[in-house]
């Protein structure tokens, strides 16, 4: 099993966690900030997908699905590739709302599909290719970039699971 | 970057995030339930993710867990068969103190990394017995993927709880 397959497997698990946590959940629940000053399920899922879309599209050297496939419009947000939610204020978190789990998961599935297709082309040697981002020393490699996506996305997926418990009751996954 | 390096890097990076999330918290912060009654506290999350990594790594290596070989049961006051903590009683889990909780975590992190870095490509498809009885055997690569997926989700949850304690945008 090579590195790209490990990454694809991890992204697949993340995608399944999102479905498990969000399938059939009403928009009201997804949009709720579980505690004052905390991130909603909708925001968390949106943010991790933005990170994945941003990084995978960068590696593919194509526009993000966020803009090329009109996902920004579906979310009622600006056509801005730099908007990933990093550094969002509480007001910005509160302003992000979805009309259904289908919107959140639609974007998640589209981004994951692109990631899978990209990863199928990555060789073990390819993982060591450097990315030209001179703001970092040493230059990151494709492998390092993909590791950062897995770590970020898995953490946020876990937060979606926890947030659901906060809104709907803990132990929801055991019922 | 080999497959092993990829696993190791992902775990190391996430563990660094865990340490950041725990930095400067109090022992009370390990026990409290800022998300409310029935929620998993930070202490329980760290203990649980460490137990998961410990038992899976040990089964991959065919060795005794750090929990057993290091006498951690006694240190946590949890000797013998471990209770299954449910929302109604998760607040009863005692993380003791940072030295104990993070001591266990650090010991398992170090051992687990050694086990992973000692694996070969051939090991990846070797079948391993489940840590939970009754579940099917799985190849090593699946067990490693489960460590990553379980542990890193819980690390994210610890970060979320730190946000509830210390305020939004703490990182």
Query: Residues A56, A59, A65, A66: what is their CA dihedral angle, to the nearest 10 degrees?
Result: 80
Check residue A50 and give its pLDDT: 98
CA-nearest residue of chain B to A171? Answer: B87
Provide the residue range defining the domain that includes A71: 3-174
**Could you tell me the CATH number of the domain that includes residue A77?**
1.20.120.450
Distances from the Cα of A122 to the Cαs of A8, B3, B5, B7, B91, in angstroms?
Answer: 11, 13, 16, 17, 46
Q: How far A149 CA lies from chain B's nearest CA (Å)?
A: 9
List, in order of start, the domains of chain B with CATH numbers: 3-166 (1.20.120.450)
Q: What is the mean pLDDT of chain B?
A: 96
Question: Any chain A CB within 8 A of the CB of B122?
Answer: no
Total number of domains constituting chain A: 1
Q: Where are the beta strands (DSSP E) in chain B?
A: 127-128, 138-139
Q: Does A108 touch chain B (CB under 8 A)?
A: no
Closest residue in B to A16 (Cα) is B149
Q: Over the stretch B60-114, which tens digit does the pLDDT of each residue have?
A: 999 999 999 999 999 999 988 898 899 999 999 999 999 999 999 999 999 999 9
The interface pTM score, or ipTM, of the predicted complex is 0.97
pLDDT in tens, A93-138: 999 999 999 999 999 999 999 999 999 999 999 999 999 999 999 9
| pLDDT tens by residue, B6-33 | 999 999 999 999 999 999 999 999 999 9
Contact A171 B167 (CB under 8 A): no
CA B158 to chain centre: 11
For an interface test with B, the pick among A130, A162, A165, A167 (most B C-beta atoms closer than 10 Å) comes out as: A162
pLDDT for the residue A132: 93
Where residue B168 falls among pLDDT bands split at 50, 70, 90? confident
Tell me whether A161 touches chain B (CB under 8 Å).
yes
**Does any CB of chain A come closer than 8 Å to the CB of residue B17?**
yes
Q: What is the pLDDT of residue B162?
A: 97
* List of chain A residues whose C-beta atoms are within 8 Å of the C-beta of residue B38: 165, 169-171
Give the dihedral of Cα atoms A46, A47, A52, A54; nearest 10 deg: 110
Burial A67-105 (b: 16+ CB within 10 A, else e): bebebbeebeeeeebebbbeebeeeebeebbbeebebbb
């Amino acid at each position: 099993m090579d590195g790209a397959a490990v990454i694809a497997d991890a992204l697949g698990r993340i995608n399944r966690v999102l479905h498990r946590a969000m399938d059939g959940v009403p928009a009201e629940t997804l949009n709720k900030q579980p505690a004052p000053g905390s991130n909603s399920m909708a925001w968390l899922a949106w943010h991790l997908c933005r990170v994945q879309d941003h990084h995978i599209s960068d590696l593919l050297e194509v526009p993000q699905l966020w803009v090329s496939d009109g996902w920004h419009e579906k979310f009622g947000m600006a056509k801005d590739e730099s908007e990933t939610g990093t550094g969002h204020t509480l007001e910005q978190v509160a302003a992000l709302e979805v009309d259904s789990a289908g919107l959140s998961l639609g974007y998640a599935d589209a981004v994951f599909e692109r990631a899978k297709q990209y990863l199928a082309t990555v060789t073990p040697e390819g993982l060591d290719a450097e990315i030209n981002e001179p703001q970092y020393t040493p230059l990151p490699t494709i492998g390092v970039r993909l590791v950062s996506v897995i770590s970020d996305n898995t953490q946020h997926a876990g937060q979606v699971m926890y947030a659901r418990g906060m809104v709907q009751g803990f132990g929801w996954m055991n019922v | 970057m080999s497959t092993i390096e990829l696993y190791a890097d992902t775990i190391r990076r996430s563990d660094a995030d865990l340490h950041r999330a725990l930095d400067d918290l109090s022992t009370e912060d390990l026990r409290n339930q800022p998300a409310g009654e029935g929620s998993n506290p930070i202490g329980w999350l760290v203990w649980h993710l460490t137990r998961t990594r410990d038992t899976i790594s040990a089964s991959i290596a065919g060795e005794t867990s750090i929990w057993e070989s290091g006498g951690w049961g006694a240190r946590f006051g949890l000797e013998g068969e471990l209770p299954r903590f449910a929302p109604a009683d998760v607040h009863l889990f005692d993380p003791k103190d940072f030295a104990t909780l993070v001591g266990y975590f650090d010991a398992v992190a170090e051992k687990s990394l050694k086990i992973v870095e000692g694996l070969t490509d051939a090991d990846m498809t070797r079948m391993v017995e489940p840590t939970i009885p009754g579940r099917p055997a799985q190849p090593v690569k699946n067990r490693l993927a489960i460590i990553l997926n379980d542990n890193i989700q819980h690390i994210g949850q610890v970060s979320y709880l730190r946000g509830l304690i210390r305020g939004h945008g703490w990182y």
